[in-house]
Chains A and B, each alone.
Chain A
Amino acid sequence: MLQKTWISVLLLILCCCPTPGYSAAVAEKVFADYADALLQIKVLEHASGAKSAIGSGFLLAEPQLVVTNYHVVSEAVLFPQKYQLEFLAQNQQKGKLEIVAVDVVNDLALLKTDYRPAKSFQLQQQVPAQGAEVYSLGNPHDLGLIVVPGTYNGLQKHSFYPRIHFTGAINSGMSGGPAVNAAGEVIGVNVASGGNGLGFLVPAAALQQLLNKHPVTDLKQDIQQQLISNQQQMFQQILQADWQLKSFGPATVPDEIVPFIRCWGTSNVEKDKDDVKRVNAFCNQPEEIFLSSEFSTGRIEMQFEWIQAKDLHPLQFFRRYQQSINQMNADNSAGEDDVTAFSCQNQLVTPVQGQHAKAVFCLRAYRNYPQLFDVAYISASLDHQQQGVISHFTLAGVDQKMALQFSRKFIGAVVWQS
Chain B
Amino acid sequence: MAVIVEVLNKQQKVTERHKFAQQQVRLGRAFDNDVILFNKHVCPYHATLQQDQQGQWWLEDLSSVNGSFVSDRKAVTAKEPLRSGEICWLGEQALRLYDDAHPVAATLPFSAVGQKLQALGHWAFILLFALILAADQVAEIWLTLPKQLEHLWTVRLLDLPKTLLMFCIWPAILALWSRFNQQESHFLPQLSLTYAALASSALWGVFCYWLGFNLDGSAIAQVVEVMGYTLILVALFCGNLWLATHWSARAQVAVAMAVAFLATSGQWAGLLTPASPFDRSLHYDSRLLPLPFYLGKGKDLQQYEQDLQQLFEQVEQQRQESVQD
Q: Which residues of A contact B (CB under 8 A)?
A: 273-275, 312, 314-316, 318-322, 325-326, 328-330, 334, 336, 340-351, 356, 358-368, 370, 373, 376, 380, 382-383, 385, 400, 403-404, 407-408, 411-412
Contact = CB atoms under 8 A, between A and B. Distances in A.
A316 B277 contact: no
B291 A356 contact: yes
Contacts of A404: 305, 308-309, 312
Interface in B208-238: 216-218
B311 A363 contact: yes
A340 B277 contact: yes
Instruction: Pick the 5 closest A-B CB pairs, nearest first.
Output: A275-B147, A326-B286, A341-B275, A365-B319, A344-B284
Between B279, B294, B316, the greatest number of chain A beta carbons within 10 A of the residue's beta carbon is seen for B316
A340 B279 CA distance: 9
Nearest to A412: B301
A365 B315 contact: yes
Interface string B252-285: 0000000000000000000000111111111111
Contact of A347 (B143, B216, B275, B286): B216
A329 B281 contact: yes
A152 B281 CA distance: 43
B215 to A, nearest CB: 9
A329 B284 CA distance: 11
B109 interface: no
B289 interface: yes
Given A315-B143, A336-B278, A385-B290, 18 more contacts: A275-B147, A275-B148, A315-B290, A340-B322, A342-B275, A343-B318, A346-B284, A350-B299, A362-B284, A368-B323, A370-B319, A376-B282, A380-B288, A400-B312, A404-B305, A404-B308, A408-B301, A412-B301
A163 B4 CA distance: 103
B298 to A, nearest CB: 4
Nearest to B143: A319
A404 B316 CA distance: 15
Given A347-B216, A362-B282, A382 B315 contact: no
A329 B218 CA distance: 20
A341 to B, nearest CB: 4
Contact of A373 (B280, B281, B285, B315): B315
Nearest to B291: A382
B318 A365 contact: yes
14 contacts: A312-B147, A340-B277, A341-B275, A342-B281, A344-B282, A344-B283, A346-B216, A347-B298, A347-B299, A348-B296, A351-B301, A361-B311, A365-B315, A373-B315
B323 A318 contact: no
Contact of A358 (B288, B305, B309, B319): B288
B307 interface: yes
B142 interface: yes
Contact of A382 (B278, B279, B294, B323): B294
A349 B288 contact: no
Nearest to A323: B286
Contacts of A344: 282-284
B282 A330 contact: yes
A342 B143 contact: no
Nearest to B304: A349
Nearest to B145: A316
A341 B279 contact: yes
Nearest to A271: B148
A316 B286 CA distance: 15
